[in-house]
Amino acid sequence: MVQQQMNGSLSIRSKQRWLFVAVACVSVFSLTTCARGAPRTDEERVAFWIEKLAADNDATVRAYAAAMLGQIADADADQSTLIETLMADPDIHVRTNAATALGRIGGETLLRSVDALLTAMKHDDAGLRSNAAMALAGVDPSLPADHVDALIVALGDVTLEVSVYCATALAKIGAPAIDDLVAALADPDQKAGAASALSQILDEIPPDHLPALVNGLADDDARVRRGCAQVLGRIGDAVVPDLVKVLDSGPQHAKIAAVVALTQLALLDATQLIPHVAVLIKALDDESNEVRAPCATMLGEMGSAAEAQLTITLATGSGHARAGAAKALALIVPHVSEEYVPNLVAGLGDMQSLVRRSCRLAIANVGPMAGLDLIKALDPNSEAKNRLEILNSLIEIGPHADALVAVLLQALKDEDVYVRLRAVEVVRDEVGSNSDIVSAAMIDRFENDPEVSVQLAAIGALVVNPWGGRANEAYWHAARNAGGRFGLGHFGAVIRRRH
């Protein structure tokens, strides 16, 4: 063991000595070069590294020279040495660096090297193919259209980076490449890259290519489905019937892709989906939330055109459908028509919390105009959770008319403690002409409610609200009792400061 440790220590020391010698040699070489007159201008440095690239016997030096030229060479100068290196150097790493350098230099140099780069993309080495494709993708503004065929073939490369870079290059070419790209959707090796390229092209897609793109929504490759959906989402109303048909009766993965396209179309103009409200509402009951959620959003963006059918679904649909309908109604801008507020109020009693929450949001959008419908629905014989949801909505819609006070006073005596607590919250925020009645109700809850939480909430309401009149007597009465019963004499101090 000791001998092994000694051998390990000797090995580390040996490596350290060799590292020191290497650093020293590099330093000596650098000093010697400077003494001889190292290249100082850009032109001299380029010439120096071109010489190293062309004549040095060490492949490592040539690879480094190619990398340096990529950083300092002029795009308009003659870089034929780099192109020759890309084509013929015996070391693959040197050729790979030469491809990268040509891409970095860009400009006319890159355009002159296109044929060499395309040839390099046929090499067996994946790194060389990838770097050559990356250089071609950087051609600005784009490659000539006569190179489309070669790029289409390269879309099927087994190396993903090559396919991705070629798709970018084809997208830059634009309209001249569309026909070949659509045809490539039928090739099992090229279809993913072709769909990606098409999704990046902003030029108009000819109508005769729409069937191929729609068929791509059902492809077994997610990249094809995604690319085709993105293209279709930019086309406009001409493709809406086909997308709706897929949504209505296509396979599940195709439905999800169709929804992606329809969502893009709805962002541009949701009114073009109005004739297809029934299909979108049917989709609210789909097995996948990736279908249900976007369809609910689209229905909400249609506004009043979908209200009637949404309220019917809210009342009679399945669990998923009711949740989606409520979400859509909550998204309508500025709000649901007043005639449908009773439907929303009824939705507050739904067994699903998602439905109740969305209905509350929709009612809050309506505002105080929904107050009367909420008051009418506050039935003491209904379930406690229904009464609680109605009170929550009353709180959310803001100031109410004095006529609401009577209903709230009734809720203060509700059998459910949570309903009473929420009623106290509403009354606490209700400052109107019924101040004596309100203060008396708070005193009553303080003295007679069986729950301490309600008693404390009631006296808290008395503290924060200066109702005036006979309310002052109530404040003092409540303060004395609070101090004696709960050890909360600080309420008296608060009241004295306020009144």
Question: Higher pLDDT residue, 182 or 386?
Answer: 182
User: What's the average model confidence in pLDDT over 439-445?
Assistant: 83
More confident residue, 131 or 9: 131
Residue 398 region by backbone torsions, left for phi larger than 0, else alpha for psi between -120 and 50, else beta: left
Question: What per-residue confidence (pLDDT) applies to 115?
Answer: 95
How many whole angstroms separate alpha carbon 344 and alpha carbon 336?
A: 9
Amino acid letter, 127: G
Higher pLDDT, 153 or 74: 153
- Which residues 6+ apart lie within 8 Å of 153 measured at CB? 190
pLDDT at position 25: 40
For the ranges 211-215, 353-357, 369-373, the lowest mean pLDDT is seen at 369-373
Q: Please give the pLDDT value at position 10.
A: 35
What confidence tier does 288 reach under pLDDT thresholds 50, 70, 90? Answer: very high
- Could you tell me which residue, 23 or 229, shows the higher pLDDT? 229
The pLDDT score that the predictor gives to residue 463 is 73
C-alpha to C-alpha distance for 242 and 292, rounded to whole angstroms: 19
Q: Average pLDDT in the 334-360 region?
A: 94
Tokens linked to 481: 């009792």
Name which of 80, 82, 55, 56 is nearest 69 in CA terms.
82
Name the pLDDT band for 446 (thresholds 50, 70, 90).
confident
| pLDDT computed for residue 435 by the predictor | 66
Which 3 state secondary structure label does DSSP give 487? coil
How distant, in Å, are the alpha carbons of 211, 409, 422, 449 from that of 470?
Answer: 79, 18, 25, 21
Q: Is the peptide bond before 141 cis (omega within 30 degrees of 0)?
A: yes
Phi, psi (rounded to 5 degrees) for 145: -65, -20
Over residues 267-285, the mean pLDDT reads: 95
- For residues 457-482, average pLDDT: 62
pLDDT of residue 451: 92
Region for 441 from its dihedrals, namely left if φ exceeds 0, alpha if ψ lies in -120 to 50, beta otherwise: alpha
Task: Look at residue 402 in the predicted model and tell me its pLDDT.
Answer: 61
Average pLDDT, the chain: 85
Q: Is the pLDDT of residue 32 over 50?
A: no
pLDDT at site 475 = 55
Is residue 34 scored above 50 in pLDDT? Answer: no
Q: What is the DSSP letter of 380?
A: T
**Gyration radius of the chain over CA positions:** 38
Residue for token digits 């051609």?
139
Distances from the Cα of 165 to the Cα of 27, 45, 339, 485, angstroms: 40, 31, 56, 78
**Is the pTM of the predicted complex or chain greater than 0.85?**
no
* Average pLDDT of span 264-287: 95
pLDDT at 223: 97
Is the pLDDT reported for residue 286 higher than 80?
Answer: yes
| Residue 472: predicted pLDDT | 53
Mean pLDDT of 384-413: 77
pLDDT of residue 433: 46
Which residue has better confidence, 224 or 473? Answer: 224
Average pLDDT estimate for 382-406: 76
Least confident of 272-276, 312-316, 388-392, 479-483: 479-483
The candidate with the shortest Cα–Cα distance to 206, out of 188, 230, 229, 181, is 181
Alpha-carbon separation of residue 312 from 317, 342, 350 (angstroms): 8, 12, 14
Model confidence pLDDT, tens digit, residues 404-433: 677 778 888 888 998 888 888 877 766 544
For the segment 77-105, the average pLDDT, to the nearest whole number, is 95
Question: Residue 19 pLDDT > 70, yes or no?
Answer: no
Q: Minimum mean pLDDT among 96-110, 183-197, 255-269, 397-411: which range? A: 397-411
CA dist., res. 282 & res. 294, Å (int): 13
Predicted pLDDT at 464? 73
Q: What does the pLDDT read at residue 371?
A: 83
263 pLDDT tier (thresholds 50, 70, 90) = very high
Asked if 417 and 425 touch (Cβ cutoff 8 Å), the reply is no
Cis bond upstream, residue 334 (ω within 30): yes
User: Stretch 59-78: mean pLDDT, rounded?
Assistant: 93
**Residue 474 confidence (pLDDT):** 53
Cβ contact 349:382 at 8 Å: yes
- Average of pLDDT values for 218-234? 97
**pLDDT reading at 4 higher than 70:** no
| pLDDT computed for residue 424 by the predictor | 86
User: How much is the average pLDDT of 128-155?
Assistant: 95
pLDDT digits (tens, 9 = 90+) for 135-145: 999 998 899 99
CA-based nearest residue to 445, from 483, 412, 468: 412
